[in-house]
């Protein structure tokens, strides 16, 4: 199963504009194996957050990107929760990667 297929099975379905922005942020990652969903979503969230923080302005026009980062991290944690033994490590890694983006 691809990440794209896995995402289409998630409930609730995000609003259309948010889903489109998530798809754009994931890019070719959508075609990767869904077994890697946690890492792929964190990668996309990290990349999008860094791009967002690099902008000259972070006003209301950035809201959709910020919501997309949030959704990608939520999907990553949902995927990671499938394996309780590695969940804490994945969450810790995600937290450190995203915090590093702000530095």
- Reported as a single tens digit per residue, the pLDDT across 23-34 is 999 999 999 999
From first to last of its 103 residues, the chain has per-residue pLDDT tens of: 999 999 999 999 999 999 999 999 999 999 999 999 999 999 999 999 999 999 987 788 899 999 999 999 999 999 999 999 999 999 999 999 999 998 8
Cα gap 92→38, rounded to integer Å: 12
0.75 surpassed by pTM: yes
Cα gap 79→66, rounded to integer Å: 20
């Amino acid at each position: 199963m691809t990440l794209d297929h896995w995402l289409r099975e998630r409930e609730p379905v995000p609003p259309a504009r948010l889903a489109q922005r998530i798809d754009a942020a994931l890019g070719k990652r959508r075609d990767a194996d869904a077994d890697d969903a946690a890492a792929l979503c964190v990668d996309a969230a990290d990349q999008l957050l860094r791009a967002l923080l690099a902008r000259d302005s972070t006003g209301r026009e950035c809201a959709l990107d910020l919501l997309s980062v949030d959704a990608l991290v939520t999907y990553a944690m949902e995927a990671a929760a499938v394996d309780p033994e590695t969940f804490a490590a994945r969450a810790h890694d995600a937290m450190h990667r995203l915090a590093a983006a702000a530095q």
